[in-house]
Structure 1
Amino acid sequence: MPQREDNQAMPPISFETYRVLIPSIVGLVLASTTINIVVQQAHRTTGAATFNGTSMVIAALMCGCLFLATLMVKRFTKRFVSVFVLASTHIAALCCLALALLSAQGTQIAFELSVILQTGVALGSTFLKFYWLRKLRGTSAQAAVIVVFCALALSEFVTFVLSFSSEVVWYTAGMLLSYAQFTAVRASRVLGAAGDPFPAVSESYFGTNEDRFSNRSFLAVAALGIWCISIPMGMGMGFSAGDAIYMSTVPRFMVLLFVVGVSLQWIRFGLASRMRAITTSIWVVMQIFIALGAIFFAVWPKTVSIGAAFVMSSSLILNAFVWYLTIAFISFGWRDPFYYCSAAWIAKTILVIAGMRVDAVITRLIPDNTPVIISIMSLFVLIAAQVVFTRLLASPTERAERQQAAAPVTEEDIRRIPLMGVLAIAPQEQAPMVQQTPDVHIATSVMEMGQRFGLTGREVEVLTLYALGHTQARVSEELQLSPNTVHTHIKRIYDKTDLHSRQEILDYIAEYGSPKR
């Protein structure tokens, strides 16, 4: 019987196959570049944002409202998402336009007004990034790697070029880039979902199965790893007194070279389906960059921009990895995608800025603070490494633990599997062979069929709803997939299982499915 593998073979490289990924890449590039040039001064400094991070902190707090909303709403509707994108685009673009007009007049912009406008740019552009990550739900790990690292490299290249321009150019470019989002959105709707030609398989993300993406402890471990490495990044970007470090042409070019080089390497891994690299080596690369930055800080403390180039490169690579991690949880987690997007971005943003503030506090207490800061940076990097390599990447899966213990699958277990809440939906038709707990019995049996026939995670979701009696239209609505996508998944399920109707699936479950308890 066919078995699911950790690595999926990528389709042959052709424009026709990979063009479905282009809108997501372009959308992420547009949103990231807007933040880079407007809020982060085109990376001419290492500051997480202007005004000591004030605008980004306010944006993070406002983004917290979206996070709280995800705790109360099971899944946002397509209409809400459409309005969300429209509003975010206009907010970012109009704030950029206002900054451009005020800057062109040559007058000093009031502090409060500048903070409000830059907060609007940060918030609108960040929400647009959330939208594009949401669009990648159900996309394979290999395709996700290609998207996030292409977006990272292109965004950094555009930022580097624009860094030699004036503020008026930055703000004008930010407005144009924001409104260009409409073109990318239209293109994505024409080309369809990236998960259609590149369906997700949970094992290719971190070598684990779907159960763990619905496990709160696994989510907490992933978040803890990001937290622990974000703090030393902030400390390095604010070395040694907590202020942003000016980046001349040479360190800026170093950042570009490092980021593009690393991105090309991981794009190559994605095309070659070498997914183990993204789960292990990427953390090693980030830690090496931080370590090299600390070495340059210690050896050449008067030329801190060189050391800062290494730390800033690590921070940018972490951005791409956070996107990748978010796509994994969006694809298999049990909450709305905005939950994972907002939680990851808020945590990283706040903690990077907090790391810079740690430097400021240490400077007040210990004037000659270079050894102290480097030691604290090293401690947090060590903790991050221990958390990631011992918990996030190496711990056994819950399903394996259940199988080893031969424990029965309970209704609570079933409700925690990443089927997008399908078991909470009342079946439209009562399956004739089910007498007791039909939802639990069918879901358990479908999971077994997934293993037996090599179904992808998305196919298991679709098959569960379909076996529960839902029409293809209802499956499309609940999983937020297009009707054509649902039809394609059902066709693939038929091909893999050699079953050709809902009744044949139910008959198979009745004869070979998990016994009712």
Structure 2
Amino acid sequence: MAQQDTGQAMPPLSFETYRVLIPPILGLTLASTTTDIVVQQAHRTTGVSTFNGTAMIIAALIAGMLFLSTLTVKRFTKRFISRFIFASIVVSGLCCLALAVLHAYGVQLSLTGAVALQAGVAAGATFIKFYWLRKLRGTSAQAAVIVVFCALAISEFITFSLSFSGELMWYIVGTILTFAQFSVVRISRELGAAGDPFPAVSESYFGTNEDRFSNRSFLAVATLGIWFISVPMGMGLGFSSGEAIYMSTVPRFMVLLFVIIVSALWIRNGFASRMRAITTSIWVAMEVLLALGAVFLSIWPNTISVGASFIMGSSLVLQTFVWYLTIAFISFGWRDPFYYCTLSWVSMTLLFVAGMRLDGLITQLFPNNTPVLISIMSLFVLIGAQVVFTKLLSSPSERTERRQTAGEAITEEDIKRVPLMGVLAITPQEHPAMVQQKPDVHIATSVMEMGQRFGLTGREVEVLTLYALGHTQARVSEELKLSTNTVHTHIKRVYEKTDLHSRQEILDYIAEYGSPRP
């Protein structure tokens, strides 16, 4: 049996345990499919969106306003989140419905009207994705991988199937899928948070030894790598004039095949808890697809859809990897989850569009531009893969490493020296994760205070202590010699008394209102 990379193994496969993952899988699938078929023409072209990316740029600007609001709001309230997802579904669904009705009656939309409706679909569907990523806060890396790659594979299969239909069918299906989100959201609330049965462990996400300070800095490094690799992907999608490339049936099927193979491999790794493979070989997969795409673009410049299929497959894998990293940011960062969702998505989307526009600029300067484009694409890939991934990810800063060797505690100043850590808000704002802290003692003490504050019984305090420490309900029942149903009942009563509804919310409460750390 293959050895697991982390000490956190996935529980045995059963519907009772894994059903909590079904709503986020469905939610991400429905939102992604809506974007793919309505805004990206069912991948019949490589365009980021219709109208040469304009609709997606407008959606990115709208998301940028949400990002700016996160700079002043520490945490959005539950009421705001409920209204946010309701408004997102309504806006996206009504825009799809309007497109369907207008197309059915043969109404010719003006350019402004068409762009506005497409942007509404893109923004609404994207915000729905943000909601589901937020729901995965505090979820283990293994469960996160299973969710995002299942959503990718299912979404791409539906998109490929609908690529043989017309625009009216796309708009109708987009409307149905969007309004179906209401049912999925309701089911998700009934099942609870995915982080409860699958609690997050930082080392599982980052694939490094748990004593290494570079765990959190991986997020900053990976983000920088994503920024560099997004540009050549955009250039490949718009090769060589900056216009979207038409994809016939064979290239579209190749994209589906790439996605299915990659998704199957990483879902398997997730179930096997081989998380080190996720954080390293996912880069290899993206770069191999991107490199092969560049090779075929160079060999067959007159049949560019073949090379474009490799690059499009790589871009879809990258978007899914961004989901995965966003969940990591959300789980271990101190800002509101929407901060990380908007920052990652807006950056990647704008860089995709910028890469396509760069093609057009180079075409004006160099009419026979294939060698120039391939060279620039290769340069960006080299920077992203070698300079960022190999060097910065390989070890922490020398000063930090010396302090670890000497057995000294890592200070907040050390944290600030890691590239982009402050900008990306990866470490807790008030309590950075220092090696000398005793989180078990802190949590236990804080839970006792919660017991007094909310009138919890002694048994509820015992259950909540183990639960907050990351134990599953099954493990808590073993430790306290209670039945699983009894433990579930105690946790449900704790939720009712505290008005907190997930393990992560309890940990957030402890971090903000619990006893001071030693």
Q: TM-score range by the shorter chain?
A: 0.7 to 0.9
Q: CA-to-partner distance for each residue in 1:96-153, whole Å, 9 max, x for gaps?
A: 0111111112232110001111111110110010010011111111111100000000
Amino acid at match of 1:277: A
What residue is the counterpart of 1:447 in the other structure? 437
Q: CA deviation at 1:15?
A: 1.5
Change beyond 3 A, Cα 1:68–1:336: same
Q: CA deviation at 1:407?
A: 3.7
Mapping for residues 17-416 of structure 1, pairs under 5 Å: 17-208=17-208, 219-390=219-390, 393-396=393-396, 402-407=403-408
Q: CA deviation at 1:448?
A: 3.0
**2:11 partner SS:** coil
Choose which of 447, 452, 470 in structure 2 pairs with 1:466. 447
Are the counterparts in 1 of residues 153 and 260 from structure 2 also a CA contact under 8 Å? yes
**Which structure 1 segments of 5+ residues have no match?**
424-439, 451-459, 477-483, 501-513
Structure 2 distance, partners of 1:515, 1:446, is 11
Change beyond 3 A, Cα 1:35–1:58: same
Q: CA deviation at 1:172?
A: 1.0
Amino acid at match of 2:310: F
Amino acid at match of 2:226: I
Amino acid at match of 1:135: K
How many residues are paired up?
A: 464
Amino acid at match of 2:438: E
**1:381 partner SS:** helix
Change beyond 3 A, Cα 1:151–1:40: same
Are the counterparts in 1 of residues 206 and 218 from structure 2 also a CA contact under 8 Å? no
Q: CA-to-partner distance for each residue in 1:56-107, whole Å, 9 max, x for gaps?
A: 0111111111111111111111111111000000000000011111111223
Q: So what's the TM-score if we normalise by structure 1?
A: 0.82
Structure 2 distance, partners of 1:414, 1:286, is 29
What residue is the counterpart of 2:487 in the other structure? none
Change beyond 3 A, Cα 1:386–1:418: closer
Amino acid at match of 2:404: Q
Change beyond 3 A, Cα 1:162–1:202: same
Q: So what's the TM-score if we normalise by structure 2?
A: 0.82
Change beyond 3 A, Cα 1:184–1:125: same
Structure 1 distance, partners of 2:57, 2:204, is 34
Q: CA deviation at 1:212?
A: 6.3
**Which structure 2 segments of 5+ residues have no match?**
417-421, 457-462, 482-515
Structure 2 distance, partners of 1:322, 1:31, is 16
**1:280 partner SS:** helix
Are the counterparts in 1 of residues 44 and 248 from structure 2 also a CA contact under 8 Å? yes
- 2:478 matches 1:488: no
Structure 1 distance, partners of 2:464, 2:84, is 23
Change beyond 3 A, Cα 1:164–1:408: closer
Q: CA deviation at 1:447?
A: 3.4
Q: CA deviation at 1:17?
A: 1.4
What residue is the counterpart of 2:508 in the other structure? none
Structure 2 distance, partners of 1:472, 1:400, is 42
Amino acid at match of 1:466: V
Change beyond 3 A, Cα 1:90–1:54: same
Change beyond 3 A, Cα 1:414–1:309: closer
Q: CA deviation at 1:361?
A: 0.4
Identity of aligned residues (%): 63
What residue is the counterpart of 1:455 in the other structure? none
Amino acid at match of 1:448: K
Q: CA-to-partner distance for each residue in 1:383-405, whole Å, 9 max, x for gaps?
A: 11024423564223898664334
Are the counterparts in 2 of residues 210 and 418 from structure 1 also a CA contact under 8 Å? no
Are the counterparts in 2 of residues 298 and 371 from structure 1 also a CA contact under 8 Å? yes
Structure 1 distance, partners of 2:476, 2:451, is 19
Structure 1 distance, partners of 2:19, 2:361, is 49
Structure 2 distance, partners of 1:515, 1:252, is 55
Q: CA deviation at 1:238?
A: 0.4
Change beyond 3 A, Cα 1:106–1:393: same
Query: Aligned Cα RMSD in Å?
Result: 3.5
Change beyond 3 A, Cα 1:495–1:488: closer
Structure 1 distance, partners of 2:452, 2:177, is 38
Structure 1 distance, partners of 2:269, 2:194, is 19
Are the counterparts in 2 of residues 202 and 210 from structure 1 also a CA contact under 8 Å? no
Amino acid at match of 1:130: F
Q: Which deviates more from structure 2 when the two are superposed, residues 201-210 or residues 413-422?
A: 413-422
Q: CA-to-partner distance for each residue in 1:342-372, whole Å, 9 max, x for gaps?
A: 0000000000010001110011011100000
Change beyond 3 A, Cα 1:492–1:266: closer
Structure 2 distance, partners of 1:44, 1:411, is 49
Q: CA deviation at 1:13?
A: 1.2
Structure 1 distance, partners of 2:38, 2:202, is 37
Change beyond 3 A, Cα 1:222–1:515: closer
Are the counterparts in 2 of residues 31 and 129 from structure 1 also a CA contact under 8 Å? yes
Structure 1 distance, partners of 2:453, 2:311, is 49
What residue is the counterpart of 2:504 in the other structure? none
Change beyond 3 A, Cα 1:315–1:474: farther
Q: CA-to-partner distance for each residue in 1:429-460, whole Å, 9 max, x for gaps?
A: xxxxxxxxxxx9xx97993355xxxxxxxxx8
**1:195 partner SS:** coil
Q: CA deviation at 1:276?
A: 1.0
Q: CA deviation at 1:474?
A: 7.8
Amino acid at match of 2:84: F
**1:72 partner SS:** coil
**1:205 partner SS:** helix
